[in-house]
Chains A and B, each alone.
Chain A
Amino acid sequence: MQETYSYFIHINDTLRMSQSQEYILDVRGLSKTFSGIKALDNVQLAVRKGEVHALMGENGAGKSTFMKILIGLLKPDSGDIFFEGAPLQVKNVHDSLKKGISMIHQEILMVPELTVAQNIFLGRETTRFMPGWLDDQTIYRKANEILTQMGVSLDVRTPMKYLSVAEMQMVEIAKAISNDAKVIIMDEPTSAISDKEVATLFSIINDLTKKGVAIIYISHKMDEIFTIADTITVLRDGRYIATHSATELDTNRLISLMVGREIDSLFPDAVELGGQEAISVKNLGRKGSFSGISFTVKAGEILGMAGLMGAGRTEIARAIFGLDRFDEGEIAVNGNLVSITCPQDAMQHGIGYVSEDRKALGFIPNMTVKENITLGNLSNYTQGLFIQQKQEAKIASEVAENLRIKTHTLDQKVANLSGGNQQKVVIGKVLLASPRIIILDEPTRGIDIGAKSEIYKLIRQLTASGIAVIMISSELPELVGMSNRILVLSEGKQTTILSKQEATQETIMAHAMPH
């Protein structure tokens, strides 16, 4: 018995040894928490030498956080990372670059005033004469070589800020591959470049993998994944779901792994209301953001708006609310064409907007619940120069009661409330203007599940009183559970409007994926 036992241990050890040799990067049990919210929970990933390993997941699945830990921009709470079989300790990006891990960042990270070449070699400058003396001649020559090899024609002496987004992305790619890295992380490397440039990138990736470089590839574009990836790992809600060889999967199977959640009774039943058309949008477009957006929302109806990050959802909301100008199309409220050039116009026509960025645009953290609620309509509670304190307090307490805002007193600072209650304060503020149409942009982002159901009930309450709701959300279960119809966007274009019967997470994803 004893013999056999140790024999097994021995086998296990050899197995692990060979595994860690086979995998250039092996991550186990990685966790990261941001202010109480688990961004990554016990995540694993094993990348072989010379493979393209796709990392897939919905928005907020934790992909970018994961990669920022690998590159040393964030520190994990727990977990082990093995690089070339040895534990990897990176204190900062300097360490990880030295070890041979580089990254193409989704948000293009460039110094605008420096030139193309200076950006490519930033942090890795060549020197001459003496330590610390810049040799820009060599930097320009090398940068030119790299870009020529990539088939990109760019003057390497141009300051970065004069480049288009596509050009910047190509420079970002050049920067990552010029580092002679063993592992290159590519986070949405093709979000801004054209098909021709994507082809260039793919041939570069092929050359790199032949040399044994491993690529971790993150993209929302399904066709890209199945063209380039050897292995696919799926994350969902910060947790590891599965790793498969790319040949074992197809688009549908991958999407169901990515979304795979059960819809529960979190969502109160819709109230059927044959209301009148509250808002109609025809052919709305804004250069560079979105175009051809047409929909109507009836009183008491919820129109969901789905799409990947950058599909143009928030931009549409901002245009309707008058925060941004639109170049084409028209908006009608209650059947009458209206002109909206600023938020005041929109509010006058009964449109309210609850921003996705609650903290930046929704409330003033150091002001009290009462002050925040009445802030938008303060002129209604003033006489001459003075605020009618009693009236203000009365209105605010009515709102707080209606929306069930949990706070000890109305004089509590909003900063001290929970996320869910903060969101209710923001909604309460918007409601005080008595809107007939409300645009909710990610109304439950960063809110825990209990508070979510409260917000859902509140939204139903609004529709029951005849308010038309446009709800933008990245959480598909929420969209499917709440919406009467769902408008799906892909890369700034409206791809479809799904009815309640047609709308499932899979159909939404299929229409949201760029092709």
Chain B
Amino acid sequence: MKNEPTSYVNQIGNTYRLRTRGIGKYGIVLAFIALCIILSVMTPRFLTVANLVNIFTQVSINALLAFGVTFVIITGGIDLSIGSMVAVAGVVAALFAHPDTYPVIVPILMGLLAGLALGALNGFVITRTKVPPFIVTLGTMTIGRGLALILSKGRPVSNLSDSFNFIGGGQLFGIPMPILILIIAFAVCSILLKKTVIGRYMYAVGGNELAAEASGIRLNKVKMVVYTLCGGLAGLAGIVLTSRITTGQPNAGAGFELDAIAAAIIGGTSTSGGVGTIMGTLIGALLIGVISNGLDLMNVTSYYQQVVMGVIIIGAVVLDSLSQTKK
């Protein structure tokens, strides 16, 4: 008897939640489709194969970073150092990618390793010291930028082998390599998050850390995996970027972390943890890409583009907080 009022209140809460959740979940897809329709009407150049391929290629690097940071945000953390990791991984890969030195697999592995190592460093410090991830990764962001400058002696690392430059500039079956890499990363990350135990633990840790701990989940292990993974994806993004611009730039990737976090948040990943999908993040990244592409086509200056982007990020978070259940 005593529980009746509670469940009654809960029911009201549920309908409310379901409704706002609907907006939060599908709103971004609807917004994306609406935007594409508007752009195709306004500029005939938008809906062409060449332009769409162009958008996807441009989006690929941000999407790779955003997938990694989605894992981190789902566990309730944040990673600000991914932009710097792009530079470190790019420079490291470039150093091993000069023509007639090593086979192309070596620079790829070294670049990935650089990202994984920096990610593991983040994870290690965060789990051992309990310093908030925001602070730790703010520190490694600066450390990473310094490392990239040290390793490259402050100069762009150029003269890279053709096989290495194929990663970012080549095509397979008529599809640009960055898009292929994006598709594979998307599939792997989606499966990891939805179909594996570690993915389940990511949601659990971010959804209710105490409950996860009380269920026997080792929090430190999960966090370690997540930050290392995020670093690895940043390393991959660094390799693709370096190959595309055919140089290892120590200053590359500055500010990329913000675009990646924005893509995750626009795609419905909750900054309070426990909620988010790789699909959502991909749509978030595409939305950012389409907006800047569309505004480019309509000859809007990049100054205005930034304003529009900011408005969209805040709008997405407002939707997110509306669909939050907690008062």
Find the B residue at minimum CB distance from A195: B1
Q: A417-459: contact bitstring with B at CB < 8 Å (1 yes, 0 no)?
A: 0000000000000000000000000000000000000000000
Q: Smallest distance from the beta carbon of B203 to chain A beta carbons, Å?
A: 6
A281 an interface residue at 8 Å Cβ cutoff? no
Residues in chain A near residue B7, CB distance under 8 A:
164-167
Partner of B218, one of A92, A105, A112, A119: A92
Find the B residue at minimum CB distance from A96: B216
B208 an interface residue at 8 Å Cβ cutoff? yes
Asked whether B325 lies within 8 Å of A161 as measured between CB atoms, the reply is yes
Q: Which of A32-40, A56-64, A127-135 contacts B (4 or more CB under 8 A)?
A: A127-135
Find the B residue at minimum CB distance from A163: B10
Q: Which of B191-199, B226-234, B239-247 contacts A (4 or more CB under 8 A)?
A: B191-199
A125 an interface residue at 8 Å Cβ cutoff? yes
Give complex CA distance A110, B215 in Å: 9
Asked whether A110 lies within 8 Å of B217 as measured between CB atoms, the reply is no
- With A94-B217, A164-B10 in contact, do A194 and B197 touch (Cβ < 8 Å)? no
Give complex CA distance A92, B217 in Å: 9
Asked whether B207 lies within 8 Å of A97 as measured between CB atoms, the reply is no
Residues in chain B near residue A96, CB distance under 8 A:
216
Give complex CA distance A162, B18 in Å: 10
Residues in chain B near residue A164, CB distance under 8 A:
3, 6-7, 10
B210 an interface residue at 8 Å Cβ cutoff? yes
Asked whether B212 lies within 8 Å of A111 as measured between CB atoms, the reply is yes
Asked whether A97 lies within 8 Å of B3 as measured between CB atoms, the reply is no
Partner of B196, one of A71, A112, A133, A175: A133
B307 an interface residue at 8 Å Cβ cutoff? no
Q: B1-16: contact bitstring with A at CB < 8 Å (1 yes, 0 no)?
A: 1110111011000100
Asked whether A109 lies within 8 Å of B214 as measured between CB atoms, the reply is yes
Q: Smallest distance from the beta carbon of B272 to chain A beta carbons, Å?
A: 11
Residues in chain B near residue A123, CB distance under 8 A:
212, 215-217
Q: Smallest distance from the beta carbon of A99 to chain B beta carbons, Å?
A: 11
Give complex CA distance A113, B6 in Å: 20
Q: Smallest distance from the beta carbon of A317 to chain B beta carbons, Å?
A: 19
Give complex CA distance A492, B3 in Å: 12
- With A122-B215, A123-B217 in contact, do A132 and B207 touch (Cβ < 8 Å)? no
B126 an interface residue at 8 Å Cβ cutoff? no
Residues in chain A near residue B204, CB distance under 8 A:
111, 114, 122
Asked whether B197 lies within 8 Å of A93 as measured between CB atoms, the reply is no
Give complex CA distance A491, B1 in Å: 12
A390 an interface residue at 8 Å Cβ cutoff? no
Asked whether A122 lies within 8 Å of B274 as measured between CB atoms, the reply is no
B34 an interface residue at 8 Å Cβ cutoff? no
Residues in chain A near residue B9, CB distance under 8 A:
287-288
Find the B residue at minimum CB distance from A68: B214
Give complex CA distance A93, B204 in Å: 15
Give complex CA distance A118, B9 in Å: 25
Give complex CA distance A172, B198 in Å: 22
Residues in chain B near residue A73, CB distance under 8 A:
213-214
A270 an interface residue at 8 Å Cβ cutoff? no
Asked whether A94 lies within 8 Å of B2 as measured between CB atoms, the reply is no
B69 an interface residue at 8 Å Cβ cutoff? no
Residues in chain A near residue B199, CB distance under 8 A:
134
A 368-420 contacts with B by CB, 8 A:
none
Partner of B200, one of A105, A134, A166, A491: A134
Asked whether B214 lies within 8 Å of A105 as measured between CB atoms, the reply is yes
B211 an interface residue at 8 Å Cβ cutoff? yes
B 1-52 contacts with A by CB, 8 A:
1-3, 5-7, 9-10, 14, 17
Find the B residue at minimum CB distance from A130: B196
* Most A-side CB within 10 Å, residue of B3, B199, B275: B3
Residues in chain B near residue A46, CB distance under 8 A:
none
Asked whether B274 lies within 8 Å of A111 as measured between CB atoms, the reply is yes
Asked whether A114 lies within 8 Å of B213 as measured between CB atoms, the reply is no
Q: Smallest distance from the beta carbon of B321 to chain A beta carbons, Å?
A: 16
Residues in chain A near residue B208, CB distance under 8 A:
109-112
Q: A81-95: contact bitstring with B at CB < 8 Å (1 yes, 0 no)?
A: 000000000001110
Give complex CA distance A141, B292 in Å: 48
Asked whether B197 lies within 8 Å of A109 as measured between CB atoms, the reply is no
B 158-209 contacts with A by CB, 8 A:
195-200, 203-204, 207-208
Asked whether A113 lies within 8 Å of B207 as measured between CB atoms, the reply is yes
Give complex CA distance A105, B211 in Å: 9
Asked whether B10 lies within 8 Å of A114 as measured between CB atoms, the reply is no
Partner of B197, one of A94, A113, A127, A287: A127
A222 an interface residue at 8 Å Cβ cutoff? no
Residues in chain A near residue B275, CB distance under 8 A:
113
Residues in chain A near residue B207, CB distance under 8 A:
111-114
Q: Smallest distance from the beta carbon of B221 to chain A beta carbons, Å?
A: 9
Q: Smallest distance from the beta carbon of A261 to chain B beta carbons, Å?
A: 31
* Most B-side CB within 10 Å, residue of A93, A133, A163, A167: A93
Partner of A491, one of B2, B197, B214: B2
Residues in chain A near residue B17, CB distance under 8 A:
161-162
Asked whether B197 lies within 8 Å of A122 as measured between CB atoms, the reply is no
Q: Smallest distance from the beta carbon of B238 to chain A beta carbons, Å?
A: 27
A 163-209 contacts with B by CB, 8 A:
163-167, 175, 192-194
A124 an interface residue at 8 Å Cβ cutoff? yes
Asked whether B197 lies within 8 Å of A125 as measured between CB atoms, the reply is yes
- With A110-B208, A112-B208, A192-B3 in contact, do A94 and B218 touch (Cβ < 8 Å)? yes
A103 an interface residue at 8 Å Cβ cutoff? yes
Residues in chain B near residue A127, CB distance under 8 A:
197
Asked whether B217 lies within 8 Å of A114 as measured between CB atoms, the reply is no
Partner of B216, one of A113, A124, A287: A124
* Most B-side CB within 10 Å, residue of A119, A122, A125: A122
Give complex CA distance A96, B9 in Å: 37
Give complex CA distance A92, B220 in Å: 11
Residues in chain B near residue A111, CB distance under 8 A:
203-204, 207-208, 211-212, 274
Asked whether A165 lies within 8 Å of B3 as measured between CB atoms, the reply is yes
Residues in chain B near residue A194, CB distance under 8 A:
1-3
Give complex CA distance A420, B6 in Å: 37
Q: Smallest distance from the beta carbon of A298 to chain B beta carbons, Å?
A: 33
Give complex CA distance A127, B195 in Å: 10
Give complex CA distance A426, B79 in Å: 39
Residues in chain A near residue B14, CB distance under 8 A:
162
Q: Smallest distance from the beta carbon of B183 to chain A beta carbons, Å?
A: 21
Asked whether A93 lies within 8 Å of B215 as measured between CB atoms, the reply is yes
Asked whether B203 lies within 8 Å of A113 as measured between CB atoms, the reply is yes
* Most A-side CB within 10 Å, residue of B7, B196, B211: B211
* 17 A-B residue pairs with CB within 8 Å: A73-B213, A73-B214, A94-B216, A109-B214, A109-B215, A111-B208, A111-B211, A114-B203, A119-B211, A122-B211, A123-B216, A133-B197, A134-B197, A162-B10, A165-B7, A287-B5, A288-B9
Q: A113-B203, A132-B196 are in contact. List 14 more A-B contacts (CB 8 A).
A: A92-B213, A97-B216, A109-B208, A111-B211, A113-B207, A123-B217, A127-B197, A133-B196, A134-B196, A161-B325, A165-B6, A165-B10, A192-B6, A288-B5
Top 5 nearest A-B pairs by Cβ distance? A123-B215, A164-B7, A109-B211, A111-B207, A123-B216
